[in-house]
């Protein structure tokens, strides 16, 4: 099953780039307010109110800025101004959701570091389902229906199905890039 509007770029980052990004993330401060640890840059997202928070976030750091520029240079999305770093230990996931449509621009991009995982997509209206493996170093872009009509989530489990049996997860770190439109950016 294909998810319309989903683009997947394998090996967008090299293994060395992935390792360096995880090391930078670990040298930065993790927030522990959710079950999984996160870092918010550019703008803070308020998970309770489900909107962009007026509470300021640290600016996008130098170790992430080259990826922001690269996404824009490759015309994958309008230059992102918000980045959330998520950490998933084996057994942790994220419940099915659509990223806030009015808060963010039409493309949301995620890179996967540290461990592969399967991302589950469910059509919010007709219930169609698709499981998309996200490899280390890959870039996953959600636009169109994949961005607006399909929910995405990660099951809180310790392994994923693979071509030759279950594949154990290890610690995964993801970077998700979003573009807050100017009207909201100016708050």
Ligand X SMILES: O=C(O)CCC(=O)C(=O)O
b/e per residue 129-153 (b: at least 16 CB within 10 A): ebebbbebbbbbbbbbebbebbebe
When the beta carbons of 32 and 164 are compared against ligand X, the nearer one is 32
Residue 173 contacts which entry, Fe ion, ligand X, none (Cβ below 5-8 A, type-dependent): none
CB of 150 to ligand X, least distance (A): 12
Secondary structure element (H or E) that encloses residue 19, with its range: helix 15-27
- In this structure, is the dihedral angle defined by the CA atoms of residues 66, 32, 109 and 25, taken in order, positive or negative? positive
CB of 152 to Fe ion, least distance (A): 6
Which token pair is 141? 């872009």
Among 22, 77, 84, 136, binds ligand X (CB under 6 A): 84
Residue 86 contacts which entry, ligand X, Fe ion, none (Cβ below 5-8 A, type-dependent): ligand X
| 86 lies in the binding site for ligand X (CB under 6 A) | yes
* Stretch of 23-31, 35-43, 60-68, 98-106 contacting Fe ion, by CB under 5 A: 98-106
When the beta carbons of 90 and 153 are compared against Fe ion, the nearer one is 153
| 120 lies in the binding site for Fe ion (CB under 5 A) | no
Question: x/- site string to ligand X, residues 12 to 51, per CB under 6 A?
Answer: ----------------------------------------
Rounded Cα–Cα distance for residues 76 and 62 (Å): 20
Secondary structure element (H or E) that encloses residue 17, with its range: helix 15-27
Strands (E), 27-183: 38-41, 45-46, 51-52, 82-88, 94-97, 108-113, 117-123, 129-134, 139-142, 150-154, 159-162, 165-168, 172-178
* Stretch of 22-30, 50-58, 68-76, 97-105 contacting Fe ion, by CB under 5 A: 97-105
| 115 lies in the binding site for ligand X (CB under 6 A) | no
Residue 169 is classified by DSSP as -
Binding stretches for Fe ion (CB under 5 A): 99
Binding stretches for ligand X (CB under 6 A): 84, 86, 94, 99, 110, 152, 174, 176
């Amino acid at each position: 099953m294909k998810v319309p509007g989903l683009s997947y770029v394998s090996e967008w980052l090299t293994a060395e780039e992935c390792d360096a990004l995880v090391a930078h993330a670990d040298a930065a401060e993790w927030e522990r307010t959710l079950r999984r640890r996160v870092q918010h840059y550019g703008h803070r997202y308020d998970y309770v109110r489900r909107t962009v928070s007026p509470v300021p976030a640290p600016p996008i750091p130098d170790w992430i800025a080259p990826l922001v520029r690269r996404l824009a240079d490759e015309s994958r999305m309008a230059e992102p101004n918000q980045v959330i770093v998520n950490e998933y230990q084996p057994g942790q996931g994220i419940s099915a959701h659509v990223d806030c449509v009015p808060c963010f621009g039409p493309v949301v991009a995620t890179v996967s570091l540290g461990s592969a995982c399967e991302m589950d997509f469910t059509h919010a209206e007709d219930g169609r389902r698709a499981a998309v493996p996200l490899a280390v170093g890959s870039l996953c872009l959600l636009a169109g229906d994949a961005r607006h009509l399909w929910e995405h989530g990660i099951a809180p489990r310790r392994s994923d199905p693979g071509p030759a049996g279950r594949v154990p997860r290890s610690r995964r770190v993801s970077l998700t890039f979003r573009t807050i439109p100017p009207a909201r950016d100016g708050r």
